[in-house]
Amino acid sequence: MSEPRRIKVPFLQDVADSLKAGDAVLLSGTIYTARDAAHKRLLDALNKGEKSPVPLDGQLIYYVGPTPPKPGEPIGSAGPTTAIRMDSYMEPLFKHGLMATMGKGQRSVACAALHGQYKRVYFLAIGGAGAVLGKKVKAARILAYDDLGTEAIRELVIEDFPAVVCIDTHGTDACAVGRAKYARPAAV
């Protein structure tokens, strides 16, 4: 197995296009967090013509509801949230320039197709490793929707955050490919 590829976030389309489903990566740079409630509020604001509270162009949103930090640490446990719950928000966010998302689990077939249509990327983070992933966060601050608590939009500065490209800009879904590879033949 080859070494994970190091990717600086945010990134441009040429970097997105160079990633293939199944590639291991280490992400470093600035990303943003959002879950269900924050996505709804963000899209309501965009639909009203209001400015996004975070830059979306070329950016990555991580689906996480981190735990409070221990004294002297920027964040607590930062494990991924199930991504499929955010599928209905993807097309409008892709239209506003969002380049990538990261969470756990598969996406819907329709969402995978949107990744191909808009040339976007979905990364899988390691579920169950929230404490380890939290150590990859070097700084964190709430930027919007503070009243949502753990679901507030945060800016995270990450370093060597491990992930796998699940859906690439061609719409190839590593989860679907894996399921098909190991599926039992239909009974005759």
Per-run averaged pLDDT (10 residues), the chain, 188 residues: 90 97 97 96 95 95 94 94 96 97 95 97 93 96 95 97 97 84 74
- pLDDT confidence of residue 1: 57
Sequence-distant (6+) residues with CB within 8 A of 153 are: 32, 33, 34, 38, 42, 53, 54, 142, 143, 144, 145
pTM, entire model: 0.93
Question: Tell me: domain 5-182, CATH 3.40.50.300, correct?
Answer: no
Query: Whole-angstrom Cα distance, residue 172 to residue 12?
Result: 19
- pLDDT confidence of residue 123: 98
- pLDDT confidence of residue 180: 72
- pLDDT confidence of residue 152: 96
- pLDDT confidence of residue 179: 73
Query: Whole-angstrom Cα distance, residue 67 to residue 79?
Result: 9
